[in-house]
Chains A and B, each alone.
Chain A
Amino acid sequence: METRERILIRGRCVVPGRAEAPAFVTRQTVSGWGGIDARTGTITERRHEKAGQSFAGKVLVFPGAKGSSGWSHYFHMTRRLGSAPAAMLFTVMTTKVALGAVVTRVPAMTDFDRDPFAVIADGDLVRVDADAGVVEVFKRG
């Protein structure tokens, strides 16, 4: 891992905590209710670029939430069912994603000093320290 390229991003803490996991990156917003299977953390929205893939145990890097107000309840369920993401990094703040991150109780950050989509790709190892407001990205391969 030490030979990998390492990139540092700073941002604002949304939910405190630390996590380290591979990245699951989508530039498309995610629906909670009607968009994920909370049992497996799989994206189920029909026309979503990540349809059929699971964010369980990964650092979910996404623009934010869309759709129903069931967003927080469904992400809350991923915590109870053991399929929550390890952390959430998002770029557009809304009440849905904020409340969802709070009740999922995983480290979460936003307001980054550089575009996370330009830096983080699927499978990169991401170390999130929300308390310190720092994301470390270790490029894959």
Chain B
Amino acid sequence: MPEKLKVELVTAEGRVLSEEADFVVVPGKDGELGILPHHISLLTPLKPGEVKVVNDGNEEFLFVSGGFVEVLPNRVVILADAAERAEEIDEARALEARQRAQAMLADNRSGDAVAALERAVFRLHVTEIRRRRPTRSGPKN
């Protein structure tokens, strides 16, 4: 049996995910990071994007709007700023946020507005993936 990674995704509000995986992809600040078991210990910030957890051929996507990943040889801890299950993402809200962010961008190109837009876009993106390819529903926590 191949070795597995223990993946944990925690936010300030609680633990969102805690399960075994073969392979994890996280949106690192400097680009996507694929993590397999026995990865070197690593600590790096994340940018808004999707986390992909692969286990026995099943793929699960989660959205993070930033945070950190702590990689230990057989454990990956994602300290997410806000993690939501993709099906929980309210598409209308994301769209609204995007419009708001765009309106803000129009008069002021501030860093906050750019980040808000980035988040909104990624939320929509993950929702689309969900719709195209329904995967198994995650374990109930």
Is B a genuine binding partner of A? no
Which chain B residues have a beta carbon within 8 Å of chain A's beta carbons?
none
Which chain A residues have a beta carbon within 8 Å of chain B's beta carbons?
none
